[in-house]
């Protein structure tokens, strides 16, 4: 039998007796023989709850509450036994690529994570914490303050979630190194060229002085939270070995230089009893380093595309794209799936976490099918190799245009799968219903279905691009699309049909939840951007189509007018859940597309 419960229990059986009455007795007992975080619930004339630990009691009570809330016609006497596949089920939100949530937005996120039984939250920080001595860095970013962090830590603790500080300490230091105050800390003080692309300084030099500097930042973060766990980042150190550390890298090897610095940053925290997470992309390319992973640290293996999506994308990948990956230290063949990505760690027997993606960034309405397959690949690889942790990531590359609500379906799926990977088929089929019932309380049963439908728009397109949607790239990365990135007119028309239908249905939604009206506005704005992008493809104006003649000029002007209206809407809708800092920077990234259209409208 099945009942509309979330997460779906791994063992549920109907009993012959009657379901409990409203005032039924509840007998609760501790049973240390149950699996960690597990519970055994008998929902009958007398309700009996056995629990393994405090988390098991919380999750058992959550299931009991859902059983009690079922309509009378669905009430059954049942027994449920449940426990998680991954002891640590984490979610990471990027707050450093322009979009910093308001407290209201963070509260909604914590409620969603609690529903999906995540027990860890990380806010990825590059420059968006109000560090006491670095106001020059964050003054225009509307950062998370110390008071915000304490408030959020308290909120998380009340929901059984551990708030883990996450400060990148090696790569992705563009915002810091753009300021003269911090530029001397760079591996290279000058921009570097990677496969024809000039990049500003982004990597810290691996020096003891920099290790000490980032230790001070982490000390400031950890002072405001309960957790004895941190994430020190250390991914995508693109310039490493090309500047300050060049001679050492030539003599000792690039991997050794990388690991020396990671050890310098991690070991003071490990000595204090902290668990230290760091991204494993650099480590995984250096099998000779596996015996140097510090005890008390955990490499986190990330990959954000589904195996089947990457198989097609790799087939079509141009020499230019492969060169770009290689110039940034990415071994293209490792991107096929999680087992390939984690191969070096698996062969060495080094414990690791898996980190799939919500698939929403570099998109407007998400890439849901890709996210679902990516999450399943991560979970199955992690379970096969005894991974303790599953970390679903929601990045904000190039401006974080997607509001958080676009990631709700992947968050629900990731929570359910990291709890019980065996529930995948039923969970995928139930995503819309779970969103309508448990998140939006939508009597029209529309919002969940719309989110799922528009989340699949990118997958309708027959152009397969790694880690992004063509509907995003045509607006935000003008002139960078190659021929195989451009979807066929038929697939674009199908995407338009889905978007137009979803917009019409969304207008009829009737959510009862407190966030319902905000969610409707944010989803509608995301769909407007996607529909605009589809119309850009159809016009051909930015992809080599007609750019001369009065018809082309008129079409370009119509698109300019639509884009101006969209930019005005973006400012309004952004502020529904996000702080103003970063908004101007995010919107500014659309300027090249608008200029290109305006030139065409002027006949130039």
What Rg do the C-alpha atoms of the chain give, in angstroms?
A: 25
Between the CA atoms of 519, 435, 535 and 470, what dihedral angle is there, to the nearest 10 degrees?
Answer: 110
Count CB-CB contacts under 10 A for residue 493: 14
Residue 337 CA to residue 342 CA, distance in Å, equals: 9
Question: Using an 8 Å Cβ cutoff, are 78 and 17 in contact?
Answer: no
Residue 457 CA to residue 297 CA, distance in Å, equals: 39
**Cα–Cα distances in angstroms (integers) from residue 168 to residues 331, 396, 455, in the given order:** 22, 15, 30
Residue 81 CA to residue 505 CA, distance in Å, equals: 39
Q: Which position among 187, 220, 236, 277 bears the catalytic label?
A: 236
State the pairing for strand pair 162-167/275-279: unpaired
Max intra-chain CA distance, the chain: 79
Between the CA atoms of 519, 525, 526 and 530, what dihedral angle is there, to the nearest 10 degrees?
Answer: 150
Determine the distance from the C-alpha atom of residue 129 to the mean position of all C-alpha atoms in its chain, rounded to a whole number.
Answer: 19
Could you say which DSSP state residue 246 is in?
A: H
Residue 308 CA to residue 337 CA, distance in Å, equals: 9
Neighbouring C-alpha atoms within 13 Å toward the C-beta of 594: 13
Structure tokens at 37: 């975080």
Between the CA atoms of 438, 306, 526 and 409, what dihedral angle is there, to the nearest 10 degrees?
Answer: 0
Q: Name the helix (H) or strand (E) containing 557.
A: helix 550-574
Residue reference for tokens 């560090």: 131
Burial letters for 436-471: b for 16+ Cβ neighbours within 10 Å, e otherwise? Answer: bbbbbebeeebbbbbbbbbbbbbbbbebbbbbbbbb
Helix (H, G, I), strand (E, B) or coil at 101: strand
**Cα–Cα distances in angstroms (integers) from residue 180 to residues 129, 169, 175, 186, 464, in the given order:** 19, 18, 11, 11, 40
Question: Using an 8 Å Cβ cutoff, are 432 and 451 in contact?
Answer: yes
Residue 399 CA to residue 583 CA, distance in Å, equals: 8
Contacts of 396 by beta carbon, 8 Å cutoff, 6+ apart: 94, 95, 96, 97, 98, 99, 361
Residue 485 CA to residue 325 CA, distance in Å, equals: 16
236 catalytic per annotation:
yes
Active site residues: 236
């Amino acid at each position: 039998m099945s009942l509309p419960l979330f997460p779906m229990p791994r063992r549920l059986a109907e009993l012959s007796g009657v379901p409990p009455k409203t005032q039924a007795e509840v007998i609760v007992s501790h049973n240390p023989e149950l699996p960690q975080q597990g519970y055994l619930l008998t929902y009958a004339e007398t309700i009996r709850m056995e629990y393994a630990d405090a988390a098991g009691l919380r999750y058992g009570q959550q299931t009991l509450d859902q059983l009690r809330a079922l309509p009378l016609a669905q009430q059954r006497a049942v027994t449920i036994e449940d426990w998680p596949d991954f002891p640590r089920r984490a979610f990471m939100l990027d707050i450093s690529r322009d979009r910093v949530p308001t407290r209201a937005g963070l509260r909604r996120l914590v409620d969603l994570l609690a529903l999906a039984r995540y027990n860890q939250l990380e806010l990825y920080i590059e420059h968006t914490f109000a560090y006491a001595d670095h106001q020059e860095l964050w003054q225009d970013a509307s950062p998370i303050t110390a008071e915000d962090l304490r408030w959020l830590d308290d909120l998380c603790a009340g929901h059984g979630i551990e708030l883990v500080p996450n400060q990148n300490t090696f790569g992705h230091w563009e915002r810091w190194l753009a300021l003269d105050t911090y530029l001397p800390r760079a591996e290279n003080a000058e921009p570097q060229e990677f496969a024809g692309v000039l990049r500003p300084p982004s990597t810290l030099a691996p020096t003891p002085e920099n290790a000490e500097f980032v230790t001070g930042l982490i000390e400031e973060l950890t002072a405001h939270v309960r957790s004895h766990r941190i994430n020190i980042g250390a991914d995508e150190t693109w310039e490493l070995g090309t500047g300050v550390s060049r001679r050492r890298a030539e003599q000792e090897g690039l991997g050794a230089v990388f690991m020396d610095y990671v050890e310098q940053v991690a070991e003071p925290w490990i000595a204090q009893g902290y668990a230290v997470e760091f991204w494993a992309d650099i480590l995984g390319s250096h099998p000779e380093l596996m015996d140097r992973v510090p005890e008390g640290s955990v490499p986190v293996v990330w990959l954000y595309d589904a195996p089947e999506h990457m198989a097609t994308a790799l087939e079509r990948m141009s020499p230019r794209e492969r060169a770009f990956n290689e110039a940034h230290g990415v071994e293209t063949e490792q991107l096929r799936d999680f087992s390939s990505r984690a191969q070096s760690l698996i062969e060495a027997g080094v414990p690791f976490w898996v980190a799939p993606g919500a698939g929403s960034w570099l998109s407007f309405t998400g890439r849901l099918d890709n996210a679902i397959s990516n999450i399943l690949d991560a979970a199955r690889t992690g379970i096969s190799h005894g991974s303790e942790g599953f970390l679903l990531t929601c990045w904000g590359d190039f401006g974080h245009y997607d509001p958080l609500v676009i990631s709700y379906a992947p968050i629900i799926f990731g929570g359910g799968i990291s709890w019980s990977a065996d529930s995948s088929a039923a969970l995928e089929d139930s995503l819309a219903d779970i969103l309508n019932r448990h998140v939006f309380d939508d009597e029209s049963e529309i919002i969940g279905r719309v989110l799922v439908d528009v989340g699949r728009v990118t997958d309708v397109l027959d152009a397969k691009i790694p880690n992004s949607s063509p509907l995003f790239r045509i607006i935000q990365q003008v002139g960078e699309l190659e021929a195989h990135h451009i979807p066929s007119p038929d697939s674009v028309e199908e995407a338009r049909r889905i978007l137009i239908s979803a917009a019409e249905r969304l207008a009829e939604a009737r959510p009862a939840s407190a966030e319902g009206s905000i969610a409707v506005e944010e989803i509608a704005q995301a769909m407007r951007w996607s529909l605009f992008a589809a119309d850009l493809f159809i016009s051909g104006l930015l992809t080599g189509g007609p750019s001369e003649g009065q018809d082309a000029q008129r079409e370009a002007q119509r698109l300019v007018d639509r884009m101006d209206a969209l930019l005005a809407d973006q400012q309004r809708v952004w502020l529904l859940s996000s702080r103003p800092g970063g908004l101007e920077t995010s919107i500014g990234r659309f300027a090249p597309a608008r200029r290109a259209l305006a030139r065409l409208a002027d006949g130039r």
